[in-house]
Amino acid sequence: MKTLNEIFETNKELLNEPEVKELIEQFGMQFQHNVLKYENYWQKITDLTMNSELFVLKGMSTKDVVSKIYELSFK
């Protein structure tokens, strides 16, 4: 299978097609959505961990933190 660069290198006129432009725009939007989703996930995991009893006196119990991480990850 060709890479995107290979496809457009040999078929530059494809970049002028409205459908191709729309596909590229949709891909960019979906990619950005996934990047934000990934960053938000890790921010929540970091917040939970940093507010646990591992880092903060009288912080959230490790059991509760692991439970909340499980909920974020698998539900």
Number of structural domains (the chain) is: 1
Whole-number Å distance between alpha carbons of 64 and 29: 35
Note down the domain range covering 50. Answer: 4-74
Model confidence over 5-28: pLDDT tens digits?
888 888 889 989 999 999 989 999
> What is the DSSP annotation of 42-67?
HHHHHHHHHTBTTTSTT-B-HHHHHH
Looking at residue 49, its amino acid is T
Q: Are the C-beta atoms of 72 and 45 separated by less than 8 Å?
A: yes
Model confidence over 24-64: pLDDT tens digits?
899 999 999 999 999 999 999 999 999 999 889 899 999 99
Whole-number Å distance between alpha carbons of 29 and 23: 10
